[in-house]
Amino acid sequence: MLDLKKLQNDFDGVAAKLKNKKLDEALLKDLSEIFTLLKKEKTLLEELQAFQNKFSKELANAENKEELKQKLSENKTKISTQNQKVKEFEERLESLAFKIPNIPDDDVVVGEDEDANLELKRVLTPPSFDFEPREHFELGEKLEWLDFVRGVKIAQSRFCVLKEEGALLNRALINYMIDFNRSRGFKLVNVPFLVNENAMFGTGQLPKFKDDMYKVEEEDLYLISTSEIALTNLFNDEILSAENLPLKMTAYSACFRKEAGSAGRDTRGIIRQHQFEKVELVSITSPKQSQSVFNEMCECASDLLSSLGLAHRWVMLCTGDLGFSAAKTIDLEVWLPGQNKYREISSISNCRDFQARRAKIRYKNEQGKNELVHTLNGSSLAVGRTLVAIMENYQDKDGKIAIPDVLRKYF
């Protein structure tokens, strides 16, 4: 959630940054109007309180004691009424603030959409082929690894069944990713795939992305769209010890998204599914640790791709392409020969104290005061997309798929 104190101290500066993040102009206008009205009502309240404080002290020695006592009584009633007004405006401001995205970091490139994203570097060289490389869905159907027809039959479009070596490779990737992340100091956590509304609110999925979530009828439960939700909210409304930070976690989960608004995008294959799997990285840090842990998470996901022999690049998202809760995001995009382009396979974000404010996650700082933690999350990696990348990068002209050396023991 947006820091309302920061908004009050520098409304124009914060508003300018939010405009760069493509905040709806009408929402920003509403925010400005409520903020202005709240300021006015607070000023009136402060004037009434100042009157009460000043003349309460003078009451004992006042010549017109009864008259002043009457005025103070009337003023006290006005204070009570004005307090209620201020409270109502604060609640309206807070309710609106829940819909406002995080403020981008100062070093994030200003841009309208993904075309303005900044490539930072490339890692490894894409393979060359003496034949026309196929896309993963062609390879998957030929090898009978991917069964789209039966996936649709038992569910609907954007569902797929993995079979035989395809299913084995998928499982091998999950186990390898977990082992790799644990070797980098991320502790394995097994979380529920269903969470309550409070958890969804804590990480920013609600109310903004309600239409993209699967909800269990007549229950306060939602299917998670990422294990970031469950991992971060493990510490919802808690005060952590500074000596225990940073907390670095990894988790496997199935993920569920309605993919609202994605009609016509990636309709073939398993790039964009309603149900998919991810191995996630989540860190809870102090503000001082935040940037170094962010770099560590980016390196971990990148090194994981390199260990699989997959060429990829680092891309910093511009302000207009940043996610709702993110202050800064670096995407890792893997090379897909079948598509002849790089595609996102991991997204690592630093949310600063935005989620912590919503989820009330704090720690005792050096001065012994409660301070908001910083929360970070990243895919390490999207399992289905890694499967796609291996199929396309390790194919031969006969349509067979070689297995990266690091995965062989998992078979």
pLDDT, tens digit (0-9, with 9 covering 90-100), for 381-411: 999 999 999 999 999 999 999 999 999 999 8
Q: What is the pLDDT of residues 33-51, one digit of tens each?
A: 898 899 999 999 999 999 9
Residue 262 has pLDDT above 80, yes or no: no
Q: For residue 182, indicate whether it is catalytic.
A: no
Please state, for a pLDDT cut of 90, what percent of the chain lies above it: 81
User: What's the confidence (pLDDT) of residue 273?
Assistant: 95
| Binding site residue list for L-serine | 226-228, 280, 379
Across residues 133-139, what is the average pLDDT? 97
CA distances from 1 to 62, 101, 121, 205, 262 (A): 49, 7, 32, 12, 26
User: What's the confidence (pLDDT) of residue 66?
Assistant: 80
Residue 28 has pLDDT above 90, yes or no: no
Is residue 46 a contact partner of residue 83, using CB atoms and an 8 Å limit?
A: no
Across residues 342-352, what is the average pLDDT? 98
Residue 64 has pLDDT above 70, yes or no: yes
Q: Could you tell me the pLDDT band of residue 81, with boundaries at 50, 70 and 90?
A: very high
Q: For residue 183, indicate whether it is catalytic.
A: no
- From the candidates 134, 380, 385, 392, which is the catalytic residue? 385
User: What's the confidence (pLDDT) of residue 277?
Assistant: 97
pTM, two decimals, is: 0.90
- From the candidates 90, 197, 344, 371, which is the catalytic residue? 344
- From the candidates 283, 325, 347, 349, which is the catalytic residue? 347
Three-state secondary structure of the chain: CCCHHHHHHCHHHHHHHHHHCCCCHHHHHHHHHHHHHHHHHHHHHHHHHHHHHHHHHHHHHCCCHHHHHHHHHHHHHHHHHHHHHHHHHHHHHHHHHCCCCCCCCCCCCCCCCHHHCEEEEEECCCCCCCCCCCCHHHHHHHHCCEEHHHHHHHCCCCCCEECHHHHHHHHHHHHHHHHHHHHCCCEECCCCCEECHHHHHHCCCCCCCHHHCEECCCCCCEECCCHHHHHHHCCCCCEEEHHHCCEEEEEEEEEECCCCCCCCCCCCCCCCCCEEEEEEEEEEECCCCHHHHHHHHHHHHHHHHHHCCCCEEEEECCHHHCCCCCCEEEEEEEEECCCCEEEEEEEEEECCCHHHHHHCCEEECCCCCEEECEEEEEEEEEHHHHHHHHHHHCECCCCCECCCHHHHHHC
13 versus 318: which is more confidently predicted?
Answer: 318
| Binding site residue list for ATP | 257-259, 344-347
Query: Rounded mean pLDDT of the chain?
Result: 94
Q: What is the pLDDT of residues 93-124, one digit of tens each?
A: 888 888 899 999 999 999 999 999 999 999 99
Residue 266 has pLDDT above 90, yes or no: no
Residue 63 has pLDDT above 90, yes or no: no
Residue 267 has pLDDT above 90, yes or no: no
User: What's the confidence (pLDDT) of residue 166?
Assistant: 97
- From the candidates 134, 158, 257, 362, which is the catalytic residue? 257
Residue 268 has pLDDT above 80, yes or no: yes
251 versus 262: which is more confidently predicted?
Answer: 251
- From the candidates 272, 307, 343, 371, which is the catalytic residue? 272
User: What's the confidence (pLDDT) of residue 263?
Assistant: 66
Cα distance between residue 390 and residue 4, in whole Å: 46
User: What's the confidence (pLDDT) of residue 335?
Assistant: 98
Q: For residue 385, indicate whether it is catalytic.
A: yes
Q: For residue 290, indicate whether it is catalytic.
A: no
240 versus 366: which is more confidently predicted?
Answer: 240
Helices 65-97 and 25-58 pack at an angle, to 10 degrees, of 160
Across residues 195-206, what is the average pLDDT? 95
Q: If we measure between CA atoms, which residue out of 285, 374, 289, 389 comes closest to residue 332?
A: 389
User: What's the confidence (pLDDT) of residue 2?
Assistant: 82
| Binding site residue list | 226-228, 257-259, 280, 344-347, 379
Q: For residue 352, indicate whether it is catalytic.
A: no
